[in-house]
């Protein structure tokens, strides 16, 4: 089964002052992330503001980041799932032609399908591509939860290789790990849940805070995998205040603000997202004082 590394970063999408995607800065950011602990890049996920990107912008982002990642033997996972099955199939097929390594299929948002509808939606996309597929369950965003039994069914489809689990429901996550086919990879979708999910038998994390502390997250995972659980727990605890600060309002508003504040320009979020409020900005600034930043910065 294909594996893309234990630490993948859900990359923000940089925008220029005119609001257009800054593709040159996206390549610089992808390079910096891969130089600071990330083993692969997720493009056009939640953190990448996928709902406000056009299909043309997504495909060019996939291509530009792929060029950077291939030079470093790293993976690009393309966010191609939407709330429309036919549109998801079309984008996934085009992403495959671009040359991405895998696709990320989010649970359809807004429409609130049944579990059978979720199964058929994801099955149809997976059967339309040769790409490895990673499921993405994030009920706080989609309203609908992808149940453990449905994940177990989907795991029997050959090219569905794993799931990004952001439900924070550890009973459900345990059932997925126990019920899915052997080798099915469970990634944490919440930075605060990474170590707990590893202890349950999970594989890694698709991270946001790795924009800033990727080497430290890699170290935490390496500690755990090598049996140094006390050291892993200490580092996990040390990183939690940063996690809390970067999720004080909806992602990716805080992490984009942090990157801009630290000197790595990524532009403003696209409406309807905005910069964080002043109280949140102050919290982010104060929290950053207590951390070594792993990302190579543009100063």
> Distance between CA atoms of 212 and 294, rounded to whole angstroms?
6
> Distance between CA atoms of 150 and 122, rounded to whole angstroms?
10
Contact predicate 220/235, CB 8 Å? yes
> Distance between CA atoms of 269 and 188, rounded to whole angstroms?
24
- The reply to whether 291 belongs to the active site is no
Contact predicate 50/88, CB 8 Å? no
Which among 40, 86, 82, 78 has a CA at the least distance from the CA of 60?
78
- The reply to whether 164 belongs to the active site is yes
With a CB cutoff of 8 Å and minimum separation 6, the contacts of 296 are: 32, 35, 36
User: Which residue is catalytic, options 83, 136, 187, 223?
Assistant: 136
Phi-psi group of 89: left, alpha or beta (phi > 0 → left; psi -120 to 50 → alpha; rest → beta): alpha
> Distance between CA atoms of 188 and 209, rounded to whole angstroms?
13
User: Which residue is catalytic, options 58, 164, 256, 281?
Assistant: 164
Which among 273, 292, 208, 193 has a CA at the least distance from the CA of 247?
208
Which amino acids are annotated catalytic?
Answer: 136, 164
């Amino acid at each position: 089964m294909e594996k893309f590394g234990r630490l993948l970063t859900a990359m923000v999408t940089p925008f220029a002052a005119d609001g257009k995607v800054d593709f040159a800065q996206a390549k610089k950011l992808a390079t910096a992330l891969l130089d600071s602990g990330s083993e692969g890049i997720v493009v056009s996920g939640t953190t990448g503001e996928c709902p406000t990107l056009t299909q043309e912008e997504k495909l060019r982002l996939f291509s530009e980041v792929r060029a950077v990642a291939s030079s470093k033997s790293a993976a690009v996972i393309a966010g191609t799932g939407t709330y429309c099955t036919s549109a998801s199939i079309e984008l996934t097929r085009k992403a495959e032609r671009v040359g991405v390594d895998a696709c990320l299929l989010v649970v359809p948002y807004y429409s609130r399908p049944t579990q059978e509808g979720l199964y058929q939606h994801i099955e149809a996309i997976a059967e339309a591509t040769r790409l490895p597929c990673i499921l993405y369950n994030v009920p706080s965003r989609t309203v609908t939860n992808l149940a453990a039994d449905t994940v177990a069914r989907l795991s029997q489809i050959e090219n569905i290789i794993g799931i990004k689990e952001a439900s924070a429901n550890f009973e459900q996550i345990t059932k997925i790990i126990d019920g899915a086919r052997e080798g099915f990879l469970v990634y944490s979708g919440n930075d605060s849940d990474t170590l707990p999910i590893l202890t349950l038998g999970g594989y890694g994390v698709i991270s946001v805070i790795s924009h800033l502390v990727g080497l430290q997250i890699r170290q935490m995972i390496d500690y755990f995998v090598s049996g140094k659980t006390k050291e892993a727990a200490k580092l996990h605890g040390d990183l939690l205040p940063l996690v809390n600060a970067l999720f004080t309002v909806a992602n990716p508003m805080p992490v984009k603000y942090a990157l801009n504040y630290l000197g790595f320009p990524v532009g403003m979020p696209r409406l309807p997202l905005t910069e964080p409020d002043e109280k949140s900005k102050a919290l982010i600034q104060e929290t950053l004082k207590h951390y070594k930043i792993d990302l190579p910065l543009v100063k």
